[in-house]
Amino acid sequence: MNRELETKLKTIADHYGLGIQMTKLAEECGEYAASSLKTAVYIDMKNNGHPAEYCYEKIDKSQDESLKEMADVLVLTKQIEYLLVKEAPELKETIERLMTEKANRQLTRIVQENNYGK
């Protein structure tokens, strides 16, 4: 991330604080989920015989919207990461521990998947 963007995100984060930005993150995650589901709907419509041109146009629009929503999610996660270090280092440590546990579980699933049927 470039320094200019980092400075802007820190300024915004400092202005609103951890609680508000965590609530905004939940909102933006919901918007990202909705836009991603909209893409899936148009893909299903295309696969079920609806006019391909229409569906592709809608898929393109919904994918563009998903990218915008993903950017919103990333903006807020970067702000929250910054604020956790600043305002709640103990919470940051807990989150990092939980992330490590989740990553380890997923890596185990990948090994199981790769070994399936062998």
Residue 115 scores a pLDDT above 90: yes
Q: What is the pLDDT of residues 66-107, one digit of tens each?
A: 999 999 999 999 999 999 999 988 998 999 999 999 999 999
Q: What is the DSSP string of 2-60?
A: -HHHHHHHHHHHHHH-HHHHHHHHHHHHHHHHHHHHHHHHHHHHHHTTS-HHHHHHHHH
State the pLDDT at residue 20: 98
Q: What is the pLDDT of residues 32-48, one digit of tens each?
A: 999 999 999 999 999 99
State the pLDDT at residue 117: 81
The reported pTM is: 0.85
State the pLDDT at residue 35: 95
Mean pLDDT of the chain: 96
**CA–CA dist 11, 89 (Å, integer):** 19
Q: Are 12 and 79 in contact, with CB atoms under 8 Å apart? A: yes
